[in-house]
Amino acid sequence: MASVVIAADLGGTNLRSAAVNESGEILYRTNAPTPRPGTPAAVADLIGRLAEDCRANAGAEAASFGIAVPAILEASCGHIFISPNLPLLNGSCFGDLIAARTGLKISVENDANAAAIGEHWLGASRGTANSLCVTLGTGVGGGLILEGQLYRGSIGTAGEIGHICVEKDGLPCGCGSRGCLEQYASATAIARMARERGVSLPEGSSGSAAVYEAAKAGNADAADVFRIAAEYLGLALAGLVNVLNPEAIVIGGGAAAAWDLFSGPLTAELESRAFGPPTEGLRVVRAMLGDDAGLLGAARIALDGGGR
């Protein structure tokens, strides 16, 4: 009988859950708004309810549950160190809460790490040994697949590509440092830089979609913002090419939708900075799984028997 697991991807705005089989097929899916303001217990309760819905509709028994969360955490026990975009989770033993609520075998993983696993399993980095996955969304997330495995580091916090410094005396970052890549290449940063250049965006628009629309409609300032963001990303990725020599770098998240404006200056900056030999065989590619990368990566972790 085919293995089926439950997966969830918890975002700052939405919670998505699915039943997934060992081929990566989504058998059933559901979603709900993330409760905000809320408590870790309230979020765990909602995750539990969506998981029950998925189990009831999976068409097979599912005993393992993988959850992607927007946080740096101790993956072995699901303790949340910091969740910049969902601070209500900070310090919680989130894995334990969900285990108590559901009775399932739980794995909790950073959402960008889960996306890297998803893209490696079914997407743009399939078949590579060493790859990086970068997600340009509200923040800039990252995940490393090294020697075919997610690389978590000593306590599970590895992969935070968004907090590489690209401007020594640059803008303060939510992480406590300054000049982080996230301040220059996230979708949020793209919207900010566009406003700074006088690009008129719809009230309350915080992502890069409206900037992309303006650029496509001929606004040169809007197009220029994508070039600048891509050059900062190229600078950071060149360092990672020199240090990690990956075969593929996968770029996802909302800002990657502007791939036609992004990929040229990104590649040019990367090639002007990184060593030649590791750059020659490198593929810099757009993510393939869209919003499902984290969900599918969480499913893969559950299938692999991660968690307790």
Nearer to a second copy, 169 or 203 (CB): 169
Phi, psi of 119 (to 5 degrees): -65, -30
Nearer to a second copy, 27 or 228 (CB): 228
Say whether 18 sits in a helix, a strand or coil. strand
Say whether 149 sits in a helix, a strand or coil. strand
Which helix (DSSP H) or strand (DSSP E) does residue 116 occupy?
Answer: helix 111-122
Burial of 88 (0-12, 13-18, 19+ CB in 10 A): middle
Nearer to a second copy, 49 or 178 (CB): 178
Name the site residues for a second copy (rule: CB under 8 A).
72, 81-82, 129-130, 142, 144, 146-147, 151-161, 163-168, 175-178, 235, 238-240, 242-247, 272-278, 281
Nearer to a second copy, 109 or 292 (CB): 109
Nearer to a second copy, 59 or 153 (CB): 153
Burial of 34 (0-12, 13-18, 19+ CB in 10 A): buried
* Tokens representing residue 7 in the block: 């997966």
Three-point CA angle 96, 145, 306, nearest 5°: 25
Which helix (DSSP H) or strand (DSSP E) does residue 244 occupy?
Answer: helix 220-244
Torsion 26-28-66-180 (CA) sign? positive
Query: Which residue's structure tokens are 């000593």?
Result: 154
Strand partners, 134: 142, 251
Nearer to a second copy, 8 or 144 (CB): 144
Nearer to a second copy, 149 or 206 (CB): 149
- Give the chain's end-to-end CA distance (angstroms, integer): 23
* Residue in 212, 193, 21, 34 with CA at minimum distance from that of residue 111: 34
CB of 5 to a second copy, least distance (A): 26
CB of 151 to a second copy, least distance (A): 7
Nearer to a second copy, 282 or 287 (CB): 282
CB of 252 to a second copy, least distance (A): 17
* Residue in 180, 192, 194 with CA at minimum distance from that of residue 141: 180
CB of 291 to a second copy, least distance (A): 24
CB of 102 to a second copy, least distance (A): 26
CB of 26 to a second copy, least distance (A): 31
Cβ distance 45 to 87 under 8 Å?
no
CB of 231 to a second copy, least distance (A): 9
Say whether 80 sits in a helix, a strand or coil. strand
CB of 22 to a second copy, least distance (A): 26
